[in-house]
Structure 1
Amino acid sequence: MSAVFNFTFVPWFRSVAPYIHKFRHQTFVIGLTGEAIAAGKLQSIVQDLALIQAMGVKIVLVHGFRPQVNEQLHAKGHAAKYSHGIRITDSIALDCAQEAAGQLRYEIEAAFSQGLPNTPMAGATVRVLSGNFITARPVGIVDGVDFQHSGVVRKVDVAGITRTLDMGALVLLSPFGFSPTGEAFNLAMEEVATSVAVALQADKLIFLSEIPGIRMHPEAPASEDNPIDTELSLADAQALLARLPRALLPTDTGFYLQHCAKACKGGVARSHIIPFAVDGSLLLEIYVHDGIGTMVVDEKLEELREATPDDVGGILQLIEPFEKDGTLVKRSRTTIERDIDHYTIIEHDGVIFGCAALHPYPEAKTGEMAALTVSPQSQSQGDGEKLLKRIEQRARAMGLESIFVLTTRTMHWFLKRGFQPVDPDWLPEARKRKYNWDRRSQVLVKKL
């Protein structure tokens, strides 16, 4: 039993090491819904946050309290009121919000303070600091509706939060803001988390939400044929939001997505929507390659896009040196022009710095990734990784179950990214007929 455990644990732990190194000293803003706390998930989430912080990540935790405020209102015989997807905070609702926030802060601080032996918190010393880091202004009157004590973020005290994080503390924010006159405003957790992430230029914004992420076909029901889309470009997220109805409820597809898109537009490199219902979802999203929810990535449309006929010359210029030294098989202009819609390119300031093609074999539910090329000027900057991810996205969208490559010199790069070697006889019949046995290319496959 011990040998089996070692066999699985050691390679797993080694596989997460690159992510531990990558995220050390980075800043993550976590949006924790009140629903997650109401569902009894606080203890496990706190344990995971303490572990993530122990690995060198700076954390700002913004908690929500939607169900807790509604519960307080119900106990007082007062109905919860909403308009435009925003709570109308009258004086009674403001009192309830303050009570709920005080109770939740107490519970969260207590959870971070536990340190019993033989528990995940043993030896953890997480200092939790809160403060008046958010300046707010009133929502005011919108379409004739007076939102009273509901507010929106006006300013984030970046210097104060940064100093607190640099002290090694976890910053805990309630969805409240204060005006220069000392008036308190009830804010939306999602807006606070997004505003703080943008102001800090955080490396990640993560929402622990009621929904598992964004599905490949958001309008269709959840099923095995409609899995979670693990990565959306900012452009794709904005296009999806444009065709979805306005999101007013947290369970609406676009509710968290609109905040993720806003964060990415504001300079946050990656925003995530993950389910609080899955135990360890934070660890799975951060430290496992494909994650568990949906990640919105800030990739400018002009940098990573599908190729057009105007790009043929730039692609030829890019791949020519690699054809000459034998790294790539030679392709004629006619071949590239014919297959141009198969190509994805990366360009900077109008110059093509990387390309890759996906040639599908639908009958075998697979596709060949070919001509993966990155200019020597931009190698080691992650462009190859970006191209691979986009090719994987395109393959999934076509319903393919795997992609394969033929290579003679770059085998190890693909092995490190989840490809496995197979015999050339594995190839689809149509591709096997074109296989060059003299070149003796290695065939590597990655399941999607």
Structure 2
Amino acid sequence: MTHSVHRRTAALTAVALAGLLAAAVPSTAATTTAAAPSAATSPAALAAPDIPLANVKAHLGDLQSIASANGGNRAHGRTGYKASIDHVKAKLDAAGFTTTVQQFTSSGATGYNLIADWPGGDTNRVLMAGAHLDSVTSGPGINDNGSGSAGVLETALAVSRAQLNPDKHLRFAWWGAEELGLVGSKYYVNNLPSAERSKISGYLNFDMIGSPNPGYFVYDDDPTIEKTFKDYFAGIGVPTEIETEGDGRSDHASFKNVGIPVGGLFTGASRTKSSAQAQKWGGTAGQAFDRCYHSSCDSASNINDTALDRNSDAIAHAIWTLSAGTTVPPGDVYENANNVSIPDNGAAVTSSVTVSGRTGNAPAALAVGVDIKHTWRGDLVIDLLAPDGTAYRLKNSSGSDSADNVITTYTVNASGESANGTWQLKVQDVAAQDTGFIDSWKLTF
């Protein structure tokens, strides 16, 4: 359409001009590699670990067992909810978090919020992530919201395993009585002194992230948080839509209403998946995203593993990125900052870095930082080539991904590869009309 063509034409002109400017200015970098590794100076350069789906599913199994042993639900004021709080708290305590159980009263029953703080980071800049832990009385609430609760829990445990040392202070929360009107999160926010509220740089909310007929929805609230999630999903070739079904109906609203930046993820509830959405995401058109929403069948079998896995990884990506965290000690960075033009609908091109002086194999969470300027990133297929030629797919092409540029960090399990040798970033443009170039890329060991 006219507007789209104008955007693409303007973007092509910009890329062409950038290429002319790059050609006019001689580069002082080495042709294929950085002269030597350097300590990571940007905390955001380090990628989040892959969150093991099996671990998240194990947490869901625990919540199902708790519900089954307590009348079939984990609702506010019921024994199943208190058992859920105690279970999550025990895992966090063992992982080194400082936990606090906050009590409140709603509908004549005692409710509980669980707050878990990770030691360190600037306590004047707090990044929070949370999920409601209660179910409705009619079922065990495994998607709503065991899924979000389990994803946040496993991300918190991954922070502990990595001994993350973020710039910002990390705080995780599990809310009570959300199903009665966001009661627990409202209580928490309303009882925070204004000085403490001002320290919260962002709140990330995760309510239903494993719907059995899933969509991939991102909250359109804070632009930085929204972009962080959208960039992650674009990097794995999954299109997203703006979340509208539950806007203001989950715990992020308690924070948003007092001016705290918010964002989050959602895979859909009772609304019906359209034909266009089914074509884009798979699943069944004409059927609810979650047919068991607020029903007794919202059990351990009411989960889409792929959606749960992707969203759990996205949670970790956001925590690592937005907290600007680093692991200790920082890794060595090998970078190639020379521009490599990517021909339109043409042959693949490569850019190389040489790693030397290391012992053993590459890490299981090798961070691959990519900065590619391109006017239609859906055209691009990106691979990491190990020294022995083994290809690790970083990004597939997607005709619906019309955004510009690929600027993100991927994580590759390269533990089967020798660390030393020449690694290559391989990029191919597989569709016509748009061009770009590899601006830079790096490996962080």
Report the TM-score when normalising by structure 2. Answer: 0.27
Largest Rg, 1 or 2: 1
Greater helix share, 1 or 2? 1
In the superposition, the TM-score normalised over structure 1's length comes to: 0.27
Task: Give the structure, 1 or 2, with the largest relative contact order (CA under 8 Å, sep 6 or more).
Answer: 2
